[in-house]
Amino acid sequence: MLWPPARADADTGYDAWLRYAQLTPIERAKYNALPASVNVLGDSALLQTSQTELIRGVRGMLGRTLRSEQGPPTEDSILLTTIDRLRTVALSSQAPRSLEPGGYWIGHAAIHGHDCLIIAGAGAHGALYGTFDLLRRIALDQDVSRLRVTEQPSAPVRWVNQWDNLDGRIERGYGGRSIFFDNGSVRADLSRAGDYARLLASVGINGCVVNNVNATPKILSANFIPQLARIADAFRPWGVKLAISINLATPEALGQLDTFDPLDPNVISWWNQKVDEIYRQIPDFGGFLVKADSEGKPGPSRYGRTPADAANMLAAALKPHGGVLLYRAFVYNSHLDWHDLKADRAKAAYDIFHPLDGKFAGNVIIQIKNGPIDFQVREPASPLFGGLQKTNQAIELQITQEYTGQQRHLVFLVPMWKTTLDFDMHVDGRYTPVKDIVTGRSFHHPLGGFAGVSNVGLDLNWLGNPMALANLYGFGRLAWNPNLSSAAIVDEWTRLTFGNDADVVRTIDSMQLTSWRTYEDYTGPLGAGTLTDILGSHYGPGVGSAEHNGWGQWFRADHLGVGMDRTVATGTGFIGQYSPEVQKQYETLQATPDNLLLFFHHVPYTYKLHSGQTVIQYIYDSHYEGVDRVKQYVRDWKSLRGRVDEQRYAFVLGRLKYQVGHSIVWRDAVCTWFYRMSGIPDSRGRVDHYPDRTEAESMQLQGYAPVDVVPPEDASGGKAVVCNTAGQTCAARFQFERPAGWYELDVQYFDLNDGASTFKVFVGKQLVGEWIADDDLPNWRIGGDTSTRREIPGLALRSGDEIRIEGTPNGGEPAPFDYVSIHKTGP
Ligand code: GCV
């Protein structure tokens, strides 16, 4: 087969879905009738932003520079305005009379005899969103000549949260250091903050909490607020409000009071003054986000006060300025008693917040994670969504892939989010899907919405992987309209990011849409949660780490069975927090969907799923299927060579190949762990049986020494070899004893983040592979986080060949490796 020539152009991913890449001549011709000028009617800075953006986009995609005009059109024009101003020049336009803030109308009308394409916002924000809408339609190659569109956002709060620390590190951030902070201060150069706001505005996001919910009091010190004001300045042209996370103990921690009791008059007055100080410098400040009484953070419980006491005190200070107070429901006891079969972390949010329903002020919003635990690969909807009928709510979704592969694994999260958003809580027997609850529709609340933990960083591609941007895009689009389908969202994103080539679009759409299920298949079966090292990085496998501790992410496996019994009848009673209709879906084994079985029930390994498979065989099979699907992604992606710019092509290919290796690490760790625990072998003979492998510890070692790996299932055979002879090269050799043919040789090694060892592979005297282990994986230890695969394809091997691995340590990394796997690829 002839490959198309590689595209010479390179794309760093910086422009994400706003590339405005030139359309093909045929596509461009569709827009020949577009007016030649763009007029702004109105005096908002956002209208000027809209105009500049429209000119930029049209120039990029169509190669034409629109004339920039102010005031009513004097020729055929694109008019950017607000609905109110539109009425002063075109009384007869079809624009609706009232729209939610941020809403817009796009349509055609004659103004003073000129044919105009009008983008009219309910306010200037709406005009900006409408501008991005028009540009999106052009990029998607849609006909805009007879456009008539009315759009309005689903909810007023469409915010992202950044977990940035003031020193520049980002908690659970995988795209580089903070774009806002460095070394304890706000960065001098905030151009990235402005560009981020542009990306956010393009999908309708209107607020950004810039610092970690694990907040330092310092953010509120007098000399920091002017620095925050500079970030607000960078956001303002894009209509994005600045908000911050606060530490409830700040009045005490900054040394000004000896208490932070929310009912203490001095504390109340401290916060009032502080909020006034903020608004003097940032008049459009959005509000506060609070994490309290959670994971060691101070909270109202210190003084016997409730979350409502704390939230209402802060909300009262913000109210005169129009600010809102988001209070997180992620409050739980992280020192639960593992021996107590009734203890259940999942119950905490409902137990704490449901009794307070109706006690929160009107500008308080309770921010609730989608599931009752913590952003696991699959969880049911949090019962709290149905438990707060008299309280504003926002759903917290995690764009940054903390428990879902940390942007090294391809995982498109929109289908997962939609599972929660579309879930009917059946409150009072009514249709009350989570999306209608958080947008305020179900219980008639004007406030509420969406918070997405995004954690972009200084990496040029923002999230560390251009494919992961689909999640940021998807979050914004869902926050705007949670009724959009995953397929529609990804299709837009792919076209905007990679162009309209049908093969490219079909291939990437399908990879993205299947990727969550794929990841779930090799990391967290049947609702058990992501079986990662919950005490460390939350990245690689660490199956047993969730058990026998106070964190409560238990799945209670023993040698007979697995799963948390959360039933009302015999378990923790968690299911009783749902409405009777939802209880019926989960209380019995018969009704519970397979994919949440272990979240709700404890069953024997031999229990038969609805699919007919036993639980244990499902665990084995799904892990093998997941790996096979990742291998297919590599083949799919390779079919796009030459159709995607070389820079992103090579980057994504590297990531997908890495994912193949790491999915095998996951598969083997989880399957081995459950095999050891259950004693039930894989009916297909794969688990713990790897005929293609030669363990490093069984090779002839020169300088290398075997070590035990902890936990043992994170390495093949539970052991690796390390080269601890400083400054020297170690070697491990074995003889190949299989028939002659073409083979691929894979080396499973450990890439620790405190060194960059060199590896060389020889067949006889011939060097066939060489690399440096210089990746920055989240660990300095040998284990599931760092286990990495190097493939050396296309080797003609003969029986009797000596295969030698040479490792040269560097820094703290002793050139460790696990095994060599050799499989036949041709005759
Ligand atoms: C910001 C999880 C994460 C923490 C995070 C916390 C939260 O526990 O691992 O890093 O803290 O959630 O959402 O507050």
Nearest atom (ligand 1) to Cα of 171: 10
Distance in Å, CA 413 to ligand 1 centroid? 18
Residue 255 — pLDDT band, cuts 50, 70, 90?
Answer: confident
Distance in Å, CA 163 to ligand 1 centroid? 9
**Residue 293 beta carbon below 6 angstroms from any ligand 1 atom:** no
Whether 195 sits among the annotated catalytic residues: the reply is no
Of 713, 367, 368, 334, which Cα lies nearest the Cα of 554? 334
pLDDT at 97: 85
pLDDT in tens, 145-186: 999 999 999 999 999 999 999 999 999 999 999 999 999 999
Average pLDDT on 267-283 reads 98
Strand partners, 39: 69, 79
Query: Within its chain, how far is the Cα of 574 from the centroid?
Result: 27
- Of all protein residues, the one whose alpha carbon is nearest to atom 12 of ligand 1 is 374
Query: Within its chain, how far is the Cα of 801 from the centroid?
Result: 46
Whether 744 sits among the annotated catalytic residues: the reply is no
Per the CB < 8 A criterion, the answer to whether 186 and 230 are in contact is yes
Residue 2 — pLDDT band, cuts 50, 70, 90?
Answer: very low
- Considering the candidates 195, 293, 374, 521, report the single residue annotated as catalytic: 374
Which strand (E) or helix (H) includes residue 369? strand 364-369
pLDDT at 727: 79
pLDDT in tens, 190-237: 999 999 999 999 999 999 999 999 999 999 999 999 999 999 999 999
pLDDT in tens, 721-752: 999 987 799 999 999 999 999 999 999 999 99
The 3-class SS string of 392-448 reads: EEEEEEECCCCCCCCCCCCCCCHHHHHHHHCCECCHHHCCCEHHHHHCCCCCCCCCC
Instruction: State the Cα–Cα distance between residues 827 and 535, nearest whole angstrom.
Output: 47
- Considering the candidates 84, 143, 258, 295, report the single residue annotated as catalytic: 295
pTM to 2 decimals?
0.97
Of 373, 329, 398, which Cα lies nearest the Cα of 552? 373
Query: Within its chain, how far is the Cα of 692 from the centroid?
Result: 36
> What is the share, in percent, of the chain residues with pLDDT greater than 90?
97
Average pLDDT on 411-420 reads 98
Instruction: State the Cα–Cα distance between residues 607 and 614, nearest whole angstrom.
Output: 5
**Surface-to-core class of residue 591, CB atoms within 10 Å of its CB (0-12 exposed, 13-18 middle, 19+ buried):** exposed
Average pLDDT on 756-771 reads 98
**Residue 334 beta carbon below 6 angstroms from any ligand 1 atom:** no
Average pLDDT on 421-436 reads 98
What value does the mean pLDDT of the chain take? Answer: 96
pLDDT in tens, 646-669: 999 999 999 999 999 999 999 999
- Tokens describing residue 772: 């440096």
Residue 98 — pLDDT band, cuts 50, 70, 90?
Answer: confident
Of 288, 302, 305, which Cα lies nearest the Cα of 258? 302
Long-range contacts of 92-98 (CB under 8 A, 24+ apart): 93/118, 93/120, 94/148, 95/120, 96/150, 98/122
Average pLDDT on 277-287 reads 98
- At residue 5, does pLDDT exceed 50? no
pLDDT at 8: 47
Distance in Å, CA 295 to ligand 1 centroid? 8
pLDDT at 10: 82
Average pLDDT on 66-78 reads 96
Strand partners, 164: 170
Residue of 330, 396, 406, 545 best suited for mutating to test ligand 1, as the one with most atoms within 8 Å of CB:
330
Residue 20 — pLDDT band, cuts 50, 70, 90?
Answer: very high
Of 173, 250, 241, which Cα lies nearest the Cα of 219? 250
**Residue 214 beta carbon below 6 angstroms from any ligand 1 atom:** yes
User: Packing angle between helix 124-139 and helix 45-62, nearest 10 degrees?
Assistant: 10
Whether 785 sits among the annotated catalytic residues: the reply is no
Instruction: State the Cα–Cα distance between residues 205 and 193, nearest whole angstrom.
Output: 14
